[in-house]
Amino acid sequence: MEYSTEEMMAIAASRALKNEDVCFVGIGAPSEACNLARLTHAPDITLIYESGTIATRPAVLPLSIGDPELSETALTTVSVPEMFQYWLQGGRISIGFLGGAQIDRFGNINSSVIGSYERPKVRLPGGGGAPEIASQCGQTYVVMRQSRRTFVEQVDFITSFGYGQGGDHRERLGITTLGPTLVVTDLCLLRPEPGTHELVVTSLHQDVTREEVIQNTGWPIRFAQTVEYTPPPTDTELEILRDLHARTKQAHAGKVLP
């Protein structure tokens, strides 16, 4: 089956999740990947959204963390303070799945402003719970489209701390969790290099060249010694992902789902 780069990104991100994971889910691409994993190879994954919904199983992709679909299909809904203090700060969440407007070579994410903080060119939605997710989940995965506008030499503002300036910067600040261990884009997979913690390309998606990755990265991107090729989507993965999007479109248009 033919597939788009967006579908490849969502499917590649979903594959990173395991059935036993407890995952703090961001809205948008992270939510798409996490729910695809739940509908395919990880049916027992525990999905948690910032609004306090625990083990939610939405039939459609939520518009926001306040979408009633999340609370209606959750095992339980707790208060936001309880969710952050007991679940997140208590070390009970294995994966935080985030997106953003910018990311740099050390996995720092910006979702606050483009330009200076005092006089921004664009003011973005902001961090919400993302700063805490980035520092207190066992590890974080990031999913976002790759271009020179999004993959920048240095983010304009650090909303979610990755590895700071690289090396042991994270540890020097007393952050004990692993940080961003995987970045999934529409072109490739990136992982932090041991020691430096600089993001390097470890897998290229099908039909993507190294030159394309270089042209769409705002720093001199490096490649791992061994670069693999991401397996293409299966027919089953594509069918389930497309059905999820069709159901979401139908529901958001006000039509009754079958």
CATH number at residue 154: 3.40.1080.10
Domain that holds residue 142: 5-252
29-39 vs 5-15: helix crossing angle, rounded to 10: 60
- Identify residue 6 by its one-letter amino acid code: E
Whether residue 62 is contained in a domain is answered as yes
Q: Report the pLDDT value the prediction gives residue 125, as an integer from 0 to 100.
A: 87
Rounded CA-CA distance 169/177 in Å is: 12
pLDDT, tens only, 14-57: 999 999 999 999 889 999 999 999 999 999 999 999 999 999 99
Q: Report the pLDDT value the prediction gives residue 253, as an integer from 0 to 100.
A: 84
Contact present, 110 and 96 (Cβ < 8 Å): no
What predicted TM-score, i.e. pTM, was given to this entire model? 0.94
CB atoms within 10 A of CB 65: 18
Tokens of 230: 């991401």
| Confidence check: pLDDT of 256 > 80 | no
Rounded CA-CA distance 33/35 in Å is: 6
Whether residue 71 is contained in a domain is answered as yes
Q: Report the pLDDT value the prediction gives residue 213, as an integer from 0 to 100.
A: 98
Average pLDDT over residues 216-234: 98
For all residues of the chain together, what is the average pLDDT?
Answer: 95
Whether residue 77 is contained in a domain is answered as yes
Rounded CA-CA distance 100/157 in Å is: 11
- The SS3 call for residue 30 is helix
On the 0-12 / 13-18 / 19+ scale of CB atoms within 10 A, 153 is exposed
- The SS3 call for residue 46 is strand
| Confidence check: pLDDT of 186 > 80 | yes
Q: Which residues are catalytic?
A: 50
Report how far Cα 217 is from the mean position of its chain's Cα atoms: 18
The tally of domains found in the chain comes to: 1
pLDDT, tens only, 121-178: 999 988 888 999 999 999 999 999 999 999 999 999 999 999 999 999 999 999 999 9
Tokens of 216: 């769409």
Whether residue 258 is contained in a domain is answered as no
Considering only CA atoms, which of 50, 84, 39 is closest in space to residue 240? Answer: 39
Rounded CA-CA distance 13/22 in Å is: 15
Whether residue 257 is contained in a domain is answered as no
Q: Report the pLDDT value the prediction gives residue 1, as an integer from 0 to 100.
A: 86
Average pLDDT over residues 92-115: 96
| Confidence check: pLDDT of 90 > 90 | yes
Report how far Cα 86 is from the mean position of its chain's Cα atoms: 22
Whether residue 22 is contained in a domain is answered as yes
Q: Write down the residue that tokens 């089956």 correspond to.
A: 1
Rounded CA-CA distance 90/87 in Å is: 5
